[in-house]
Amino acid sequence: MRSLIPFRIRPARHGKQPEFGRAEPPVTRARVAHDPAPSLWAYRMQRVMLTPYLRRFLRVGLPVLAVAAVTGLYMASEERRNGVIQVFTDLREKFQSRPEFMVTLVSIEGASVELADAVRSRLDLNLPKSSFDLDLEAARARIEELDAVRGAELRVRSGGVLSVLITERQPVLVWRQATGLTLVDETGHRVAGLFERADRDDLALIAGEGADKAAPEALDILAAAGPIAPRIRGLVRMGDRRWDIVLDRNQRILLPEDNPVRALERLLALDQAQDMLARDLASVDLRLPNRPTLRLTPYAMNELRRANGLEPLPEPVETEL
């Protein structure tokens, strides 16, 4: 605590002290002009500074305002604004073009050699390129435009390698069109063209307009064919609406629009019981579910009539229909 005595001892005489003998003692007490009271304006100032709103403003508002004002003034000039933007873009570019982020190689996995070449040409990246500049989504979309590619997965691996993992489409059917042969996968999507049917004689043949879109149904029918499978030459899509099964000896099985597999199963049951398809039939019409209809070949028809004691039918006349 400060002393309550408002005096301070001060040497009375300044300047020269005697050269010998005792130094002059401090003899007088000088009144020290010191007033502990704050001046009126200091007091008022302190009170103003203790005002809660002002304190909050000084602590928060004023720094914010100052920073905003400085930034605003600095950014007011177009030139400096561009300079600042330039600095930031440069920094970003420098960072992005660091060797750690450069992609130099493309590795393609899960594709045959020809497809890999096609993918590579399709990717069309002029490497090396920074991984920040690569648009992997767009590249993936470009690759997936290839018919033979079902899905692609692109990722940038460490060491600057862009790894492309490709899932190929597997052809399950051959589609014959007027323009040529096409390999089709289980969804009916084109996989590739085909020059010779004999090149892929392991695959079943389909034909007709819209056959590719109904490929899943065709596969179901083929799977249900069972015992007659070796005899099937192919399936024909009729009027883009229903299937015909073409067997050897030009036999045809006309399947209905709805539930073709069920109809085929019933036919197979008939075949198993009466060995029907081995007979001299031209076609089996299953389009009406409660009335399967057979058409015999002309020879068989005549033989039947003859066996029943009837005249053989005359030779059919070719008419313009």
Partner 1 sequence: MTDLYQTQRAMRNMRRAAMQRGVIAILDVGTSKIACLILRFDGEARLREVEGVGPMAGQSKFRIIGAATTRSRGVRFGEISVMNETERAIRTAVQAAQKMANVRVDHVIACFSGAEPRSYGLGGEVDLEDGVVTEHDIARVLASCDVPDIGQGREVLHAQPVNFALDHRSGLADPRGQIGNRLACDMHLLSVEDSAIQNLLYCIQRCDLELAGIASSAYVSAISSLVEDEQELGAACIDLGGGATGVSIFMKKHMIYADSVRMGGDHVTADISKGLYIPAADAEKIKTRHGGLFATGMDDREMIELGGESGDWEKDRRRISRTELIGIMRPRVEEILEEARSVLDAAGFDHLPSQQIVLTGGGSQIPGLDMLANRILGQRVRLGRPLRVQGLPQAATGPAFASAVGLCLFAAHPQDEWWDFEVPAERYPARSLRRAFRWFKDNW
Residues forming the site for partner 1 (CB under 8 A): 4-7, 9, 25-29, 35-38, 40, 43-44, 46-47, 50-52
Which of 147, 151, 146, 140 is CA-nearest to residue 106? 140
Report the residue number, 38 or 180, with the smaller CB distance to partner 1: 38
Q: Is the N-terminal amide bond of 38 cis, ω within 30° of 0?
A: no
Q: Which pair of structure tokens corresponds to residue 166?
A: 């490709």
Rounded to a whole number of angstroms, the minimum distance from the CB of residue 11 to partner 1 is 12
Interatomic CA distance for residues 151 and 74, integer angstroms: 52
Report the residue number, 7 or 299, with the smaller CB distance to partner 1: 7
Burial code (b: 16+ CB inside 10 Å, e: under 16) for 6-27 equals: eeeeeeeeeeeeeeeeeeeeee
Report the residue number, 43 or 132, with the smaller CB distance to partner 1: 43
Which of 46, 74, 49, 75 is CA-nearest to residue 62? 49
Instruction: Indicate the burial class of 116 (C-beta count within 10 angstroms; 0-12, 13-18, 19 or more).
Output: middle
Q: Assess contact for 311 and 319: CB atoms under 8 A.
A: no
Interatomic CA distance for residues 293 and 148, integer angstroms: 42
Rounded to a whole number of angstroms, the minimum distance from the CB of residue 21 to partner 1 is 16
Burial code (b: 16+ CB inside 10 Å, e: under 16) for 80-89 equals: eeeeeeeeee
Rounded to a whole number of angstroms, the minimum distance from the CB of residue 81 to partner 1 is 43
Report the residue number, 35 or 311, with the smaller CB distance to partner 1: 35
Report the residue number, 35 or 248, with the smaller CB distance to partner 1: 35
SS3 212: coil
Report the residue number, 31 or 98, with the smaller CB distance to partner 1: 31
Run of H or E residues at 221: helix 215-225
SS3 233: strand
SS3 300: helix
Report the residue number, 39 or 121, with the smaller CB distance to partner 1: 39
Rounded to a whole number of angstroms, the minimum distance from the CB of residue 14 to partner 1 is 17
Rounded to a whole number of angstroms, the minimum distance from the CB of residue 35 to partner 1 is 7
The C-alpha angle with vertex 117 and arms to 115 and 118, in degrees rounded to 5, equals 60
Report the residue number, 46 or 77, with the smaller CB distance to partner 1: 46
Rounded to a whole number of angstroms, the minimum distance from the CB of residue 101 to partner 1 is 54
Rounded to a whole number of angstroms, the minimum distance from the CB of residue 57 to partner 1 is 14
Rounded to a whole number of angstroms, the minimum distance from the CB of residue 66 to partner 1 is 24
Q: Within a 10 A sphere around the Cβ of 49, how many other Cβ atoms?
A: 10
